[in-house]
């Protein structure tokens, strides 16, 4: 029992000491893994990825990806500087690359390392559609969602250790059943909702970034509607998914767009 108390106490103290502030929501977030570890690893992984994949350079599409990326980055800097977070991006090393890949995807690693797959361009269609995607992906990095996911995973592992200690005097069968239940519960009840909340937050931040960058956030609805049509309705039930259902996402966007426009207006960018 004493060992259980020691581990639990250490876990609580560690959590209290390992928090960061989300510059967009002002909320405290888990930061068990520091940026000093995350960013060098992300930069190395990004470099390796580019070497192992076909990067498209010099085309109109590649230039558009870079142009939109720069506008989104500048919008992020304007927002952060205006809201008391000057220097927040000092450790970022921005890159914007188009990769020849049929997959409908794009991502941004911690530190501003962006990749857009050519397979998503027929769905983005317009510059504003591309800004919707890149704003969303950059938002994940700015809100430190990767750091939070790693921290959450560590926390789940710590919880499993505490559970194992608490169950150490039980039978092997009881321990196995309990740990299986713990795994299912934390996945469906914590990890997946956590991921869906990140997606919704990235949508909200992304709308703000694209709006400040000069792209009408209303255009996000058209893009996500095309994405929904492209998926063919084959997604798992929302409760078992890392992403909100298409209908949920689009409804959320419609609710969040007025706020994004209001934020952009603070920077002299207005929309009807």
Residues tagged active-site: 137
Q: What is the C-alpha separation between 90 and 24, in angstroms, rounded? A: 17
> Is the Cβ–Cβ distance between 70 and 96 less than 8 Å?
yes
Sheet with 113-117, strands from edge to edge, namely: 55-56, 95-99, 113-117, 106-109
> Is the Cβ–Cβ distance between 142 and 205 less than 8 Å?
yes
Instruction: Kindly state the helix (H) or strand (E) to which residue 221 belongs, with its residue range.
Output: helix 219-231
Backbone angles phi, psi at 187, to 5 degrees: -70, -50
Provide the β-strand partners of residue 19.
30
Q: Which two tokens stand for residue 41?
A: 């690893």
> Is the Cβ–Cβ distance between 199 and 242 less than 8 Å?
yes
DSSP secondary structure of 232-258: TT-PPPGGG-SS--HHHHHHHHHHHHH
Q: Where are any strands of DSSP class E within 22-160? A: 28-30, 55-56, 95-99, 106-109, 113-117
């Amino acid at each position: 029992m004493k060992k259980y108390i020691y581990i639990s106490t250490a876990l609580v103290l560690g959590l209290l000491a390992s928090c960061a502030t989300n510059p967009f929501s002002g909320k405290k977030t888990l930061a068990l893994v520091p940026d000093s570890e995350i960013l060098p690893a992300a930069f190395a992984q990004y470099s390796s990825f580019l070497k192992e994949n076909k990067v498209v350079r010099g085309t109109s599409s590649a230039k558009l990806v870079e142009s939109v990326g720069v506008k989104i980055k500048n919008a992020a800097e304007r927002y952060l500087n205006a809201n008391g977070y000057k220097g927040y991006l000092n450790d970022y090393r921005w890159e914007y690359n188009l990769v020849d890949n049929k997959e409908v995807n794009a991502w941004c690693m911690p530190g501003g390392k962006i990749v857009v797959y050519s397979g998503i361009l027929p769905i983005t269609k317009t510059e504003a559609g591309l800004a919707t995607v890149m704003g969303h992906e950059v938002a994940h990095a700015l809100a430190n969602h990767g750091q939070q996911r790693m921290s959450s995973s560590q926390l789940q592992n710590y919880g499993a250790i505490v559970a194992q200690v608490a169950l150490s005097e039980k039978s092997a069968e009881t321990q196995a059943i309990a740990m299986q239940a713990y795994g299912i519960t934390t996945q469906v009840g914590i990890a997946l909702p956590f991921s869906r909340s990140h997606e919704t937050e990235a949508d909200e931040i992304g709308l703000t970034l694209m709006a400040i960058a000069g792209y009408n956030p209303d255009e996000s609805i058209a893009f996500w509607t095309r994405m929904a049509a492209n998926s063919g309705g084959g997604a798992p039930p929302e409760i078992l998914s890392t992403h909100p259902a298409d209908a949920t996402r689009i409804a959320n966007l419609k609710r969040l767009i007025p706020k994004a426009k209001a934020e952009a207006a603070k920077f002299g960018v207005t929309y009807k």
